[in-house]
């Protein structure tokens, strides 16, 4: 009976283990050097802010693994011997495998800034990063966060919750400028400033300055400004965690290279999650996608292949969600920072500046392409079906009431949105009464 070894106990590796175990008695070993048990990485900020305890972030009780006959090893893999199907471990005792799943996740990007090795400089990705943050912020009064993305916003919110002043350096002219159109970027920039974030656009880190004892004292920006701080959060994205894989014979580029079946170039070795780079990206997707739900789908997919039902990875239409302090964000399909010649768009923003909707469609066919929402929650299943079925923008706008996931006691704005959409486009969309959404999906 084949022994299946999984390196990494994040959502991808654990999902693969669970789905293999549901249909097989094959021995399964999960190896991790981060934590002994699987936890929800997205909850790190809530532990720091006191909203959750670490044990509350573990989706499964500690006894779950033994009960389901899944072995765990808290150790670090130093290299992979593909010829002998063996892993060299930091502890010294090698681990043999028959089939190997690489689920090694990501690591924070470091771009060689002078002083990035100083005490007080860190990223925010792992449980160890959380422990380091607790230690680094015991006496911190000022912090500098570098990088204009979601992890940077999370870190800023965490620090502000402890009364720490935050300066946020973003090298682009607008916040998250490689993802959001200008309207949404401006909305979030205003919101960050309302929450006392000193947001500096068009500004880059140049150097991190030592206090003489190996501790952060200041940062120097590209414009020549010196900013006092005791902690520097480097949140300029993440990259696949593959350093120990590079000399193993497993083919890598920016990530571990896989085909549509999540197979590497080495027989019986697979890769899933943040460490993956597709040789040919799935239709409408990117070669590297480091989000929670794609990792979960990859784990489910590779389990089927290992169980003898070779299955290709099909993530479906793109979607994502996040929070910017107290504003929820959702995106379905593609609403890119710059629109193509064949794309038309409509943007609606509530006067309070906390809610907006931005829709995009093909101006030659009226096919719905994508939607961004801030402060308004939408039903994922509906937009997934509309994107798969190439629904028209008229259908999507007419069914906005049904698509709205907010509770009934929330105020709804679909009438105003559609009226302004009609005025903007010259269309005559009639908004339909709210339907039970599952019934709508079957029609």
**Mind listing the pLDDT tens digit for each residue in 372-388?**
999 999 999 999 999 99
Pairing mode of beta strands 356-362, 368-374: antiparallel
Which has the closest alpha carbon to 378: 347, 411, 350, 404?
Answer: 404
φ, ψ dihedrals at 244, nearest 5°: -75, -10
Q: Is residue 422 over pLDDT 90?
A: yes
Looking at residue 392, which CATH number applies to its domain?
3.30.390.30
341-346: average pLDDT: 98
Q: Is 66 found in the same domain as 82?
A: yes
Last residue within a domain, chosen from 261, 283, 306: 306
Distance of alpha carbon 117 from alpha carbon 215, whole angstroms:
9
Q: Is the pLDDT of residue 443 over 50?
A: no
- Last residue of one domain, picked from the residues 306, 329, 349: 306
- Report, as an integer, the average pLDDT of 363-369: 98
Alpha carbon dihedral 259, 262, 265, 268, in 10-degree steps, equals -150
| Residue 278 is assigned to a structural domain of this protein | yes
Token code pair at residue 374 = 């801030």
138 and 253 part of one domain: no
Please write the tens of the pLDDT for every residue from 220-235.
999 999 999 999 999 9
Residues 301 and 324 in one domain: no
Residue (of 200, 242, 206, 176) closest to 112 by Cα position: 206
- Distance from C-alpha of 74 to C-alpha of 350, rounded to nearest angstrom: 50
Name residues whose C-beta falls within 8 Å of residue 324's C-beta, 6 or more positions apart in sequence.
153, 188, 191, 192, 374
Tell me, what's the pLDDT at 434?
A: 84
Res. 284: pLDDT tops 90: no
pLDDT at 252: 98
Both 103 and 252 in one domain: the answer is yes
115 lies in a domain? Answer: no
For 145, residues 6+ apart whose C-beta sits below 8 A from its C-beta are: 152, 155, 156, 159, 166, 167, 168, 169, 232, 233, 235
Is residue 33 in a domain? yes
| In a shared domain, residues 74 and 221 | no
Domain boundary among 247, 271, 306: 306
Provide CB contacts within 8 A for 127, sequence distance 6+. Answer: 34, 35, 39, 44, 54
Query: Is 186 exposed, middle or buried, given 0-12, 13-18 or 19+ CB atoms closer than 10 A?
Result: middle
- Let me know: does 111 contact 201? Beta carbons within 8 Å: no
Q: Of 136, 441, 183, which is closest to residue 337 (Cα–Cα)?
A: 183
Flag whether 112 is in a domain: no
Inside any domain, residue 65:
yes
| 132 and 218 part of one domain | yes
For the chain, how many structural domains are there in total? 3
What range defines the domain where residue 132 resides? 121-236
- Give the DSSP letter string of 17-80: HHHHHHH----EEEEESS-SS---GGGHHHHHTTSS-GGGG-SS-TTHHHHTTEEEEE--EEEE
The whole-chain average pLDDT of the chain stands at 95
Looking at the predicted structure, is the pLDDT value of residue 408 above 90? no
- For range 168-174, the mean pLDDT: 95
pLDDT grade for 337, boundaries at 50, 70 and 90: very high
Are 184 and 194 contacting, i.e. CB atoms less than 8 angstroms apart?
Answer: no
- CA 145 from chain centre, in angstroms, equals 18
Query: What pLDDT is attached to residue 413?
Result: 93
- What percentage of the chain exceeds 70 in pLDDT? 98
Determine the pLDDT at residue 233: 97
Which has the closest alpha carbon to 308: 20, 85, 101? Answer: 20
- 228 with 278, same domain: the answer is no
The pLDDT value recorded for residue 410 is 76
Q: Report residue 412's pLDDT band, with 50, 70 and 90 as the boundaries.
A: confident
Closest of 4, 77, 39 to residue 270, by C-alpha:
4
In a domain, 335, yes or no: yes
Does residue 328 sit in the same domain as residue 430?
A: yes
Q: Is residue 15 in a domain?
A: yes
Q: What is the pLDDT of residue 440?
A: 57
The CATH number covering residue 205 comes to 3.50.50.60
What pLDDT digit, counting tens, does each position of 183-217 carry?
Answer: 999 999 999 999 999 999 999 999 999 999 999 99
Nearest by Cα to 164 from 192, 144, 141? 141
CA distance 116 to 129: 15
Q: 344 and 231, same structural domain?
A: no
The number of beta carbons lying within 10 Å of the beta carbon of residue 56 is 12
Asked whether residue 53 falls in the same domain as residue 142, the answer is no
Residues 208 and 142 in one domain: yes
- pTM for the predicted model, two decimal places: 0.93
* 116 is a domain residue: no
Contact 153, 325 (CB under 8 A): yes
pLDDT at 436 over 80: no
pLDDT digits (tens, 9 = 90+) for 87-132: 999 998 999 999 999 999 999 888 899 999 999 999 999 999 999 9
Say if residue 245 is in the same domain as residue 267: yes
Return the half-sphere exposure (C-beta side, CA atoms, 13 A cut-off) of residue 337: 12
**pLDDT tens digits, 240-253:** 999 999 999 999 99
Q: Residue 435's pLDDT band (boundaries 50, 70, 90)?
A: confident
């Amino acid at each position: 009976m084949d022994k299946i070894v999984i390196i990494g106990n994040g959502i991808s590796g654990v999902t693969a283990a669970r789905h293999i175990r549901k249909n097989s008695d094959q021995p399964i070993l999960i190896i991790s050097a981060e934590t002994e048990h699987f936890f929800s990485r997205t909850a790190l900020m809530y532990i720091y802010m006191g909203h959750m305890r670490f044990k509350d972030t573990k989706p499964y009780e500690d006894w779950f693994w033994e009960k389901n006959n899944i072995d765990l090893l808290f150790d670090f893999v130093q290299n992979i011997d593909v010829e002998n199907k063996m892993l060299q471990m930091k502890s010294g005792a090698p681990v043999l495998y028959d089939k190997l799943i690489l689920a090694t996740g990501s690591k924070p990007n470091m771009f060689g800034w002078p002083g990035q090795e100083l005490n007080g400089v860190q990223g925010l990705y792992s449980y160890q990063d959380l422990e380091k943050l607790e230690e680094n912020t015991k006496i911190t009064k000022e912090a500098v966060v570098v990088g204009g993305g979601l992890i940077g916003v999370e870190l800023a919110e965490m620090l502000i919750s402890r009364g720490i002043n935050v300066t946020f350096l973003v090298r682009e002219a607008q916040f998250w400028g490689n993802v959001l159109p200008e309207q949404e970027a401006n909305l979030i920039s205003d919101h960050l400033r309302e929450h006392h974030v000193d947001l500096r656009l068009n500004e880059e880190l140049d150097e991190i300055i030592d206090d003489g004892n190996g501790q952060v004292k200041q940062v120097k920006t590209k414009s020549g400004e010196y900013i006092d701080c005791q902690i520097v959060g480097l949140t300029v994205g993440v990259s696949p965690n593959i350093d120990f894989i590079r000399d193993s014979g497993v083919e890598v580029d920016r990530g571990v290279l896989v085909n549509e079946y999540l197979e590497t170039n080495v027989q019986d070795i697979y890769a899933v999650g943040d460490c993956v780079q597709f040789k040919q990206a799935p239709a409408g997707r990117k070669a590297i996608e480091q989000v929670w739900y794609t990792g979960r789908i990859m784990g489910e997919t590779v389990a089927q292949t290992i169980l003898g039902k070779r299955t290709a990875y099909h993530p479906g239409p793109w979607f994502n969600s996040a929070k910017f302090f107290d504003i929820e964000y959702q995106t379905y399909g593609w609403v890119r920072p710059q629109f193509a010649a064949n794309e038309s768009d409509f943007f609606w923003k509530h006067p309070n500046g906390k809610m907006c909707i931005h829709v995009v469609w093909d101006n030659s066919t009226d096919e719905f392409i994508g939607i961004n929402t801030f402060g308004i929650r939408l039903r994922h299943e509906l937009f997934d079906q509309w994107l798969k079925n190439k629904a028209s923008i008229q259908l999507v706008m007419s069914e906005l009431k049904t698509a709205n996931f907010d509770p009934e006691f929330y105020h709804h704005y679909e009438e105003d949105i559609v009226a302004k959409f009609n005025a903007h486009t010259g269309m005559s969309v009639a908004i339909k009464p709210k339907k039970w959404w599952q019934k709508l999906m079957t029609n």
